[in-house]
Amino acid sequence: MYDIVFYISAGTLAFGAGLGVKGMLDPMWAGRLVRLQPENGQPEGYAEFRATFGGMFLGLHLAALAFLVFWGEDAGVAACSILAAGWWFTALGRYLSYSMDSNTQHSHVVRSVAIEVIIGLAIAVWPITSILHP
């Protein structure tokens, strides 16, 4: 059981890093994913997609994966906990936007919040298990 939760967390971190690679190589995909587009086709908009949805995702998930795999249990627990919290607070921000902003599409928000919470849980399964079963 303990090995399974490790691989769930590690696999989810690899998935997040893969999202980052995809965002860096295909910024329009990232834009469609989050329903944004560069204003008037400005190249700086593509750079923002590559940086935020590419570089940030790749760097954070890859670093957390390295901590989990190479730097021991405590470092892995800390890195996974921080990244899981990031996913959960992203879901919170999206929910607040839905609650406070007008004309937000319900189905997109519900789907996105669910995905963000699930990814956060999948990343956090290793730290949670490590804490509950030292």
Q: If you ran DSSP here, which 8-state letter would residue 16 be given?
A: H
Ranges assigned E (strand) in the chain = none
Mean of pLDDT values over 119-134: 88
pLDDT at 105: 73
Q: How confident is the model at residue 94 (pLDDT cuts 50, 70, 90)?
A: confident
11-25 pLDDT, tens digit each: 999 999 999 999 999
Q: Give the pLDDT band (50/70/90) at residue 2.
A: low
User: Measured between alpha carbons, how far is 81 from 77 in angstroms, rounded to an integer?
Assistant: 6
pLDDT digits over 33-92, tens only? Answer: 777 777 777 778 788 888 888 999 999 999 999 998 898 778 888 999 999 999 999 999
Please compute the mean of the pLDDT values over residues 89-107 and round it to a whole number.
84
Q: Nearest-CA neighbor of 65 among 46, 50, 79? A: 79
User: Coil, helix or strand for 38?
Assistant: coil
How high is the pLDDT of residue 117? 96
**Residues 6+ away with beta carbon under 8 Å from 68:** 6, 9, 10, 13, 75, 76, 79, 80, 126
Residue 133 has pLDDT above 60, yes or no: yes
User: Could you give the angle at the alpha carbon of 86 between the alpha carbons of 88 and 3, nearest 5°?
Assistant: 85
